[in-house]
């Protein structure tokens, strides 16, 4: 009975660590349902990211990991390029973007529009207010402001330059997603193999093995010591390999 409880406990602990590991969380973040997007960058399948249930008709901002999805900022760049292409001035573009964006982005874009109406260039205005956004979104939008300002200074078509920038950021985001998916398997494997010896001891108790005698013998102690050393070396080696891959 005691052996059964130990085996069940080891198995439950291993499953919990795998399900709560960083690799599993990142994999869920990039593979969760509803990631499909339409041509204008919005999510397919109904609803928009960054929103939860409505209260009194007002959308409440979400606190999920989707808030830092770079595709949300890339969609803003696509819309900005489309509005600039039809001849809208930059101040009007940012005001229009604030009206059609999600609540967190809309608040920042509204402040950006006011700053630009007071004479700031896009780079300065976006850089001043993007700090309220999650890290990835802020990085993409600050880059948008820099590209926009350089295009205007050089006399290049801002719409075309922003379109190219959006394309490059989308490729970066897709490459990051593929990297996370590729590394999720090895990271989960490391977690499973780390706790497999404990599960093995529980299974040995379950089938009636005399672990007390094994642990009291020099051969048993040497086996356990060697296993611990090899396990630690394997963990360090795998950790370094994953760090290099990132």
Q: What angle do CA 242, 243, 246 make, to 5 degrees?
A: 85
Q: What is the pLDDT of residue 13?
A: 52
What domains, with CATH codes, occur in the chain? 2-27+177-245 (no CATH), 51-171 (1.20.81)
Note the pLDDT of residue 12.
52
Is 34:194 a contact under the CB 8 Å cutoff? no
Question: CA-CA distance, 127 to 121, in Å (whole number)?
Answer: 10
- pLDDT at 198 (0 to 100): 78
What's the pLDDT at 219?
81
Residues 237, 243, 244, 246, CA torsion sign: positive
The pLDDT, as a whole number, for residue 239 is 83
Give CA–CA dist 167/71, Å, rounded. Answer: 11
Which pLDDT tens digits describe the chain residue by residue (246 residues)?
Answer: 444 445 455 555 554 544 444 444 554 554 443 343 433 444 433 333 333 333 333 333 444 456 778 899 999 999 999 999 999 999 999 999 999 888 889 999 999 999 999 988 899 999 989 888 888 889 999 999 999 999 988 988 999 999 999 999 999 999 888 888 888 888 888 888 888 887 877 777 788 777 777 777 888 788 888 888 888 888 888 888 878 876
Of 52, 94, 101, nearest in space to 72 by CA: 101
Which residues in the chain belong to E strands, given as ranges?
51-55, 58-61
Give the model's pLDDT for residue 44: 36
CA distance 175 to 146: 23
β partners of residue 61: 51
């Amino acid at each position: 009975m005691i052996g059964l409880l130990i085996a069940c406990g080891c198995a439950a602990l291993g499953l919990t660590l795998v399900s709560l590991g960083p690799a599993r969380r990142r994999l869920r973040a990039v593979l969760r349902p509803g990631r499909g997007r339409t041509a204008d960058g919005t999510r397919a399948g109904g609803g928009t990211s960054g929103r939860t249930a409505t209260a009194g008709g007002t959308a409440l901002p979400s606190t999920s990991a989707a808030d830092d999805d770079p595709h949300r900022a890339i969609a803003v760049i696509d819309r900005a390029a489309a509005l600039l292409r039809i001849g809208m001035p930059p101040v009007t573009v940012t005001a229009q973007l604030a009206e059609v964006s999600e609540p967190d982005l809309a608040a920042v874009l509204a402040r950006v529009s006011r700053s630009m109406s007071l004479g700031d260039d896009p780079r300065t205005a976006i850089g001043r207010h993007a700090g309220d956004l999650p890290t990835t979104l802020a990085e993409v939008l600050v880059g948008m402001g820099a590209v926009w300002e350089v295009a205007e200074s050089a006399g290049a078509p801002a719409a075309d330059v922003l379109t190219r920038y959006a394309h490059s950021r989308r490729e970066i985001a897709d490459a990051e997603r593929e990297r996370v998916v590729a590394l999720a398997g090895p990271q989960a494997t490391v977690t499973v193999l780390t706790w497999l010896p404990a599960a093995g001891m529980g299974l040995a108790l379950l089938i009636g093995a005399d672990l007390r005698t094994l642990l009291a013998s020099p051969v048993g102690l040497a086996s356990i010591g060697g296993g611990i050393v090899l396990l630690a070396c394997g963990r360090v080696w795998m950790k370094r390999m994953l760090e290099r891959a990132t």
